[in-house]
Structure 1
């Protein structure tokens, strides 16, 4: 029986090539879109779950109440790991880790700047990376040991065995390669190219060893014996700061390592979501696109009801049961879905390189993974059964006597259901159009909002080797200005496009001692405001004319507002035990999030320390390429042992908008697919309606109706459906976009424009789609429909 049904199904699909191609196209695009989105969701959901005991692993966070808010950070003191392991019940391993920083590593003539991380002894027990060679019993036990990732080992040693070979770090420390591990997975929150011991970090940076418990400088990872011990461990770790330093009011807590990437946003000390919210949108988008592809199949299948009616009547007359007919139609549906899946694979493989380039990741279809095939089987079965369910039930319900005598299907009920399905498709399409426009408007608003400084033609050069010497840095500044390549040069203690350090150890006259105030801080060089192109509101900046500015500070506008100084110049702010005189006020400028308010910031003179980057304002009167070449040559001349590491600030700043750009781009693409598939559904309904009203249209033509009259008549019904879809979609879209925008302190007001564009596009698309079929029906010879009457 199955073999016979399969033959009938193949024959029907082959005989109706146009129907088959339209249906296959809709299903293939829907399935391909769903596949790509699910691959991305699976990739993101798999973050930090590559390790054996990821479910027992936690990141130590701390809550700090300041400025009337609770801040939550994964930054902890260097001594946190030892304290946790010793004092917190249920802890098996605890290890500190520095945040990755590009350092020069070399072997023979090969020199590379790669991300190095200093870690505690338990780090590789918590995160069990796969060892390729040289697995030691106690990894990184030696002060001068290093473990390389596979790719870095190949770059430094080629085909040579690196074990027990020596590499040089920053032209200073000689390190022995004791092991090579697999590359860090792309979907891992802890990224590095090589690992070194925490003891080496303390040797290189002596302040680290004696750093007080209130100084949060590193990441701390913890592994418990059992996840059930989390509540007990959290209760014990809550006041760990106060037990080690009574003046520190921070509270500690453990955040699941597997949730670190997806649930990275906090409010009032509690996790409120993060990347997971975006994944939920993509997951909903994936299944909605698949659902409208299934709706298409239903519409197009039932549009052929008259052609299949007599077949059903004959088969019922010779003894076929309704159950067997349902099986026949369901088999056709699953078969079409199977063919559509093969086409979807082709489309997915073609599109993956583009999406990988867009997302900056490497999504692949894991054909060798049984979970993939099981998931695919579920998807095919679900799609086939869902798409074929309504056509199978509807077509198998025809009464044999009536359909053999002459087709008279129950038009009202079927059309009503089909109209509801088309309305659903357009509700989804309209919501997508509105949301995409709002995302674009919000992104444009933030990108074009003044950030407080001029990021164009501004570059920053990483301070390495000799450049850490203030005299060498001063010489570099002199040479750059003399060359004419630079219009202005200064220094900064951090990447200007990233967040920096913060402190709550700032007091002033009149401050409430019970209130904690948090300030970002950074060391700046002379001519800082002129170099970055910001405005000096009042006072002066640090300059060569004032060499004794060691106890002078600048404040930004947010800091002045927090302190409450009406005339801040000359006022004293106490930083720890040091009295500092305010000599200038700088306009607020964006460093961290472009979506949030600028944090209060205090600047001190980076005369003897604090050099991390050299900021260079390019001379716009000279050719940029030749200026960059001159800058590179000057830097190499002063520091020949390190490769020049420079980047444009505006390029770094663009990274801040990565999530929103990704959301907007994917919404554009998959929204377009959804609209295209919805048009196929509308075409299906137009085919059905034209089939049902063929005689009516013929009679109207005989009585003198023009082609324009017929087109108006047919399009009017569909315009009503699109109008209903818009009326339902508008409030839904408004709720969705308002919830999304509420996460930003700086946001646009929702205007009427997205809604006007959405209704205009949906109506135009509907008219064009329906007219394709309507013109054909309107121009048909009425005799063909009436000759048997």
Structure 2
């Protein structure tokens, strides 16, 4: 019986090739989109699944309240470590202090590389269960040791065994390689761990780290923990919540609260607003999941519509089968069998599409996904996916076709009824409602991205290059290097800064100034700069003056931005004296010498933060900021800069970043979402138009004789086109009026997450409606005009 069903199904498919191509092609596209979105969602949900103890590992987060606004993040004070070990260690298996991800110069012989990694405590390899290829897992127990990832070890030592060999770090520290571990996968939070070095080494390298041992108000570190087996992350979070207030009552005014953020939330749910967890990338998982479901639904709707549209052609077949004893259940099974065959063919094609497009999709989505050929779970899920899709796509046609009465069909009195097309019309409305909503959503996403991109950033990012200065080799050489680079002709100005142009690395408080409100809790972005900073970046001085080497007093000077003027409540900022509220170890009073135009250093979707630019008296800037000579090409300038750099720093790899490219990375997530949404929207529209094209073909075929009679009686091409097109255009208009309010509600909610956002305008919705209308006209017109131009004698001379 099954063999018979499949044989008949195959004959029907091969007999009507155009119908089959539209049906199978539409389903294959829909399934390919759903498959690739499913792989993407699986990769997102399995971020950090590489770590066996994922459910037990957490990072310590802190919330603090300033002036009624609560900020939350992973920055914690160093004394917290001792408090955890002394008072709460029963709740933990491991407590691990760590630096932030830090680039270092690693040198072996003539090979010198820049690699990212962490200064971290010795339990980290055990907590993360690193796969050790060579050496020992407890490789950080000695202060002058280093553990390398496999790729870093290969790059530095080639075919040599690195264990026991010595590396030069930043041209000043000899570190012995104690272990080589397998590269941590890309879809983890530690994929950038090219090396691990002891936390104890970090403490000895910088005085400020040593001094921070007792400073509860210096939130410059991070801590990872693995909780004990007999407790939960929620229970431990509750216990440690007030530890900072207990240990340092002076900080009670900021209401600091400590808690643990589970590893499973680091990637998908790490956003907080006013102290509350509000999600994160999980919103994109939901977004693309919904898109995948709807795109598949559109493809299934095509199958339903085309199958029911052909119902009259199969009515006699149903009538004969019923008259010779076929039960309705058997007919349902037959039509579901056809559906299964179509879906199976579509799935095979969809797999091919996914395999061919996966590389490009990975590049677009910044992923490293592979097709799971060997995964039994994938093929099991795929089988269920095929069965569900077959049921979803074939259930309505099967029930509809099997309901025909054989007596009416065989007598020739079978009529589909004037409302028989209503389900098809409803499905077309659903299709175009989804497509129009997708169009609107994609346009608004791109509008928001462009809105932020076109926002004035306060400095000239074009032709601006930054070079990290991590090694002690750079100390005290700024003046020399500035002269050398400018004399080379490749650079017109150069400065140093303690943070990159596109980020804020330090926030400070504890200052006093005239007119400061009682109880005001300031939070200021703090960047130490050389006197040429504003000139090299192209910052505009809006009040007062810039730093000058002609004034020795400028070593105690400050430039502040316009937002800081408003934030501090200053009427006449220039000349204001800033003092330290720390009575035990205060710094010398500083004076505001100028106000600079706001520059965007954080997210371009957020308001500019109040910032101070302080004279760097210690010449320990972390970056060289260079303004390239505009009269030469960028490649020529970089070649000259590299030559000069190598003359003075032969043991350090030349590394640089164009600031405009670094700034562009701030849009990367939204740009990827916009591009992916655009692709999926285009495919959704294509699938909808395929269905519409098929339906128009069948309507034109069904009304062939009517069209012939109308033409004989004098109907023009336009009259015939209008007759065939108007019903479909009405459906699209209905779809637009349903889609617009839905899209407005959803996208307006999405935009609320951005303080700096585009205003929704009527033309966006009008453009989407017009686009859908034009697409419908083009799709329907092809078949309508073809039918209208056909020779009426051919359709009237034969039965």
TM over 0.5: yes
User: Counterpart of 1:497?
Assistant: 502
User: Counterpart of 2:34?
Assistant: 34
SS state at 1:591 partner:
coil
In structure 2, distance between residues paired with 1:59 and 1:319: 69
Matches within 5 A, 1:284-299: 284-299=290-305
Worse-matched range after superposition: 160-169 or 386-395: 160-169
Shift of 1:549: 3.0
User: Counterpart of 1:210?
Assistant: 211
Shift of 1:166: 2.2
Matches within 5 A, 1:211-610: 211=212, 212-226=215-229, 229-248=232-251, 249=254, 250-406=256-412, 408-465=414-471, 468-470=474-476, 472-575=477-580, 576=582, 577-578=586-587, 579-610=589-620
In structure 2, distance between residues paired with 1:506 and 1:238: 27
Shift of 1:399: 1.5
What is the CA deviation profile of residues 182-211 of structure 1, one whole-angstrom value per residue up to 9, with x for unaligned ones? 212111123310111101111222331330
In structure 2, distance between residues paired with 1:330 and 1:778: 36
What is the CA deviation profile of residues 626-663 of structure 1, one whole-angstrom value per residue up to 9, with x for unaligned ones? 22221111121122210111111001000000111111
What is the CA deviation profile of residues 233-281 of structure 1, one whole-angstrom value per residue up to 9, with x for unaligned ones? 2222122222332223322111111111111211111110111112211
Q: Per the alignment, do residues 409 and 83 of structure 1 end up closer, same or farther by CA in structure 2, a change over 3 Å counting?
A: farther
CA contact (8 A) 1:238 1:253 kept: yes
What is the CA deviation profile of residues 680-710 of structure 1, one whole-angstrom value per residue up to 9, with x for unaligned ones? 1212332343355445434433433222101
In structure 2, distance between residues paired with 1:514 and 1:464: 39
In structure 1, distance between residues paired with 2:139 and 2:372: 33
SS state at 1:414 partner:
coil
SS state at 1:55 partner:
coil
Shift of 1:529: 1.0
CA contact (8 A) 1:103 1:114 kept: yes
What is the CA deviation profile of residues 201-236 of structure 1, one whole-angstrom value per residue up to 9, with x for unaligned ones? 112223313301221122211222259633332222
Shift of 1:506: 2.2
CA contact (8 A) 1:56 1:227 kept: no
In structure 2, distance between residues paired with 1:81 and 1:331: 65
Tell me if 1:162 matches 2:167.
Answer: no
What is the CA deviation profile of residues 477-534 of structure 1, one whole-angstrom value per residue up to 9, with x for unaligned ones? 1111222221111111111112221012222233234331100101010121111011
CA contact (8 A) 1:115 1:192 kept: yes
Q: Per the alignment, do residues 780 and 621 of structure 1 end up closer, same or farther by CA in structure 2, a change over 3 Å counting?
A: closer
In structure 2, distance between residues paired with 1:625 and 1:148: 33
Worse-matched range after superposition: 11-20 or 619-628: 619-628
CA contact (8 A) 1:55 1:227 kept: no
In structure 2, distance between residues paired with 1:237 and 1:593: 31
Shift of 1:331: 1.0
CA contact (8 A) 1:468 1:611 kept: no
What is the CA deviation profile of residues 753-785 of structure 1, one whole-angstrom value per residue up to 9, with x for unaligned ones? 211211111111111111222233334455666
* Unmatched tracts of structure 1, length 5 or more: none
SS state at 1:660 partner:
helix
Q: Per the alignment, do residues 553 and 519 of structure 1 end up closer, same or farther by CA in structure 2, a change over 3 Å counting?
A: same
Structure 1 vs Structure 2 CA RMSD: 1.9
CA contact (8 A) 1:85 1:93 kept: no
Following TM superposition, the consecutive aligned residue runs of length 4 or more in structure 1 with deviations greater than 6 angstroms are none
What is the CA deviation profile of residues 148-172 of structure 1, one whole-angstrom value per residue up to 9, with x for unaligned ones? 1111111122232222222221122
Shift of 1:719: 0.8
CA contact (8 A) 1:528 1:541 kept: no
CA contact (8 A) 1:149 1:181 kept: yes
Normalised to the residue count of structure 2, the TM-score between the two structures is: 0.95
In structure 1, distance between residues paired with 2:405 and 2:785: 33
User: Counterpart of 1:47?
Assistant: 47
Q: Per the alignment, do residues 464 and 59 of structure 1 end up closer, same or farther by CA in structure 2, a change over 3 Å counting?
A: closer
Count of aligned pairs between the two proteins: 787
CA contact (8 A) 2:91 2:231 kept: no
SS state at 1:217 partner:
strand
CA contact (8 A) 2:628 2:634 kept: yes
Q: Per the alignment, do residues 229 and 311 of structure 1 end up closer, same or farther by CA in structure 2, a change over 3 Å counting?
A: same
CA contact (8 A) 1:80 1:96 kept: no
SS state at 1:412 partner:
coil
CA contact (8 A) 2:22 2:694 kept: no
User: Counterpart of 1:87?
Assistant: 87
CA contact (8 A) 2:492 2:628 kept: yes
In structure 2, distance between residues paired with 1:781 and 1:304: 24
User: Counterpart of 2:690?
Assistant: 680
CA contact (8 A) 1:115 1:193 kept: yes
What is the CA deviation profile of residues 418-466 of structure 1, one whole-angstrom value per residue up to 9, with x for unaligned ones? 1111100100110111111111222112111111111011111111435
In structure 1, distance between residues paired with 2:798 and 2:11: 29
Shift of 1:596: 0.6
In structure 2, distance between residues paired with 1:252 and 1:764: 57
CA contact (8 A) 1:81 1:221 kept: no
